[in-house]
Structure 1
Amino acid sequence: MEDFLLTDQDRATLQYKVTTKLREVILKGDFKLGDRLIQEEWATKLGVSRMPIREALRQLEVEGLVRIEPRRGAIVTPISISDIEEIYQLRTLLEGEAVERSLPFLEEDDITELESLYSQMISLNNTEKDVEEFMKLNAEFHRILRHGCPWRRIHSMIDTLWKGIPLYTPSLLSNHIKEAHQEHKQMVEFIRQNEPKKLRRIMEKHILRTRDNLIRMIEKKDVEKD
């Protein structure tokens, strides 16, 4: 069994760390559909009280990774390949449309901020702390890319799809971050060149590549179980 015990340094951001650990073991396939995630067991494994476990489970329920049932507790509902296909196909359609419509409305300050975020991302290493920082910068990069889109409803739909796995994908696929850097660089270049259709295509490629890598990760985990 993997050693999940959190260090003293981890406790500086305890709630975030507990939620991240539990999310990772679910997304990486350590549980099967219907398995119980027992608070007492995970409090012991992580070296924390039950309170942060309870709060983490509430967040994971919002993300659709667990279901809280009376008298049974947290029931794991892991992401399937079908879920990945649905989430990322919808993201491709919606975010491709959003960034294409956003570009004409982006101002110089927006573009400068995107360039700054890109520079910060490529300066990071592959440590756990840097991957966490990359996730925050990446989410903000994508938000600014699409925030100029005048369609109000598309933003709420994209925000819903981003809850859960898309936000935390870099922690699962940290060995693919270099590919993300190249795609982010192209996005900034196409914005500077005022090429909305090219921006849309690279965004679609970016999302579909991530989808394919996630599916391969799940398939590999399934093979290892057999």
Structure 2
Amino acid sequence: MSTRDRSQGSSSDRAYRWTKDRILDGRFEGGRLISEGEVADEIQLSRTPVREAFLRLSAEGLLRLYPKRGALVVPVSASEAEDIAEARIFLERHAAAKVIASGHAAEVASAMREVLEKQHALSYPEQAPEFTALDRDFHATLVNAAGNALFDEFYSSLRDRQLRMVHTALRHDNPDRPRIILEEHSRICDLLAAGEAEALHSLIAEHITSVRKQLPTV
């Protein structure tokens, strides 16, 4: 590979990451039309690597390309949000039951509280991307503790959609939602440590469903 090819690839990756980050954290909201020129000017690149980045994001279903007009940020659809919520509830309930049965619930709850403490230390909305990333890490800690490699892989595949859903919900929800999320996370830790499976299963479903309900209908 020539130096020029490597440079082009690096520029394309940079444009891809920059644009994708803004789609996932809601700075580029669903329904917004963005252009190659807009992104190129922002990150001081030519349009060619930006065009390549747009093609990658289109293949991932995050952008819909319109020649000579730009790219539409594809909104999170109601059916997609429903599917993701259903998958998460199933996986997290299963993980909770397995962790409680293993006798290591207190240890896992302690690990989740460590993530929660980091989330508490953040200022929202100034640190919204970090808050949402830790939200995802909090739930992933529970799923990973169940010790099922296939479930871990599937849950990881939901990462981008999960981050985008939470960001979108927070932007359209009431200002108290971050506080409510933190309180519910704390209750999840308490119920897990106490081994109260039935109450924990109900709270997990309520917690995940509440985020889905705040998404705009598309």
* Shared fold (TM-score, shorter chain, > 0.5): yes
* d(CA) in 2 for partners of 1:56, 1:171: 22
* d(CA) in 2 for partners of 1:116, 1:80: 33
Give secondary structure in 2 for the equivalent of 1:183. Answer: helix
For 2:178, the aligned partner's letter is: I
Unaligned runs of 5+ residues in structure 1 are: 1-12, 32-36
For 1:20, the aligned partner's letter is: D
Q: 1:14 to 1:196 in 2, by over 3 A?
A: farther
Deviations 1:188-214 (A, max 9, x none): 101221122322221111110010011
TM-score by length of 1: 0.69
Match of 2:30 in 1: 28
Unaligned runs of 5+ residues in structure 2 are: 1-13
Q: Identity across aligned pairs (percent)?
A: 23
Q: 1:179 to 1:28 in 2, by over 3 A?
A: farther
Maintained 8 Å contact 1:38/1:74: yes
Deviations 1:26-69 (A, max 9, x none): 543225xxxxx53223323x353247745753663464212579
Deviations 1:60-107 (A, max 9, x none): 346421257999986654322222222222222232223322333446
Q: Considering only aligned residues, what root-mean-square deviation do their CA atoms show, in Å?
A: 3.4
* d(CA) in 2 for partners of 1:164, 1:66: 14
Maintained 8 Å contact 1:102/1:149: yes
Maintained 8 Å contact 2:81/2:165: no
* d(CA) in 1 for partners of 2:31, 2:65: 19
Match of 2:205 in 1: 204
For 2:165, the aligned partner's letter is: T
2:95 to 83, 95, 98: 98
Q: 1:73 to 1:154 in 2, by over 3 A?
A: same
Maintained 8 Å contact 1:18/1:52: no
For 1:28, the aligned partner's letter is: G
Maintained 8 Å contact 2:136/2:159: no
Q: 1:94 to 1:58 in 2, by over 3 A?
A: farther
* d(CA) in 2 for partners of 1:91, 1:189: 20
